[in-house]
Structure 1
Amino acid sequence: MEHSSVLPRVLVFLVMAFPQVSAVTHSLQYFYTGVTPGINFPEFTAVGQVDGGQFVYYDSNIRGMIGKTEWIQKISVEDPDYWNSETQNLQNSQEIFKDNVATAIFFFFFRLFPSGVATANHLSPPIPIFCILNPCTH
């Protein structure tokens, strides 16, 4: 299930959970963050927010989506497969995000250094820039 198919259900759930809310604009946002592995922080995190308040969390260490509010934790009553499908979506997004970042870094440095090798001049011996993509030892 894609985020686009889940969005209407989440919005309907929000309306049902907060019937006293009048015609007010709300926002639903997902933030993805990726970092290089090995820095004692999850390689990939995703945070979902409604009106600036976090309601779900996922990271590459736990590999599962966690509801952060009482109202979203109750969604499994309406949709028992919600957490499994959202976790699967985010695991797929994690792999795509990782590949896209690696591709962007590769092409960025390839344009800067057409020879294919860039080195940090102040280091001895020179360290190739592709260590950013695949952690390596010096």
Structure 2
Amino acid sequence: MSQAVKEPAVKTDLEEGVVFAPKFDAHGLIVCVTIEASTRDVLMVAYMNQLALEKTIETGFAHYWSRSRRELWRKGHTSGQTQKVLSLRVDCDQDALLLEVEVGGDGKACHTGRKSCFYRALKGDGALIFAAEGG
């Protein structure tokens, strides 16, 4: 997959075909939603560049591109909170990915020490409240 992937010429081929042709944005990134396979809980949203996607496919463990550090990182390399990829899906126009993972380590995915990065909910008055742990 290290060679540039050409987008199918016909939109229906992109949407209904069997060719994997991920569409990276102008910065060379594609959004990736990561869920825990056993619970279906959304763990995080991150970005991949082509190298991160290649490493993920090659190793079977989630790799992402850090926009703030501007570097490739393997999830769990330092924290132990690895993400073993059980399934990689692409959306209809191939500009977003969905990883279904088995979480290693303590089962948490967020750098704040929580299971999920989505630990706050918006109230009607516009304030954030902390959601129950586990989601």
TM-score interval for Structure 1 and Structure 2 normalised by the shorter chain = under 0.3
User: Which protein is richer in helix relative to its size?
Assistant: 1
Larger radius of gyration: 1
Larger % of strand: which? 2
TM superposition score normalised by structure 1: 0.26
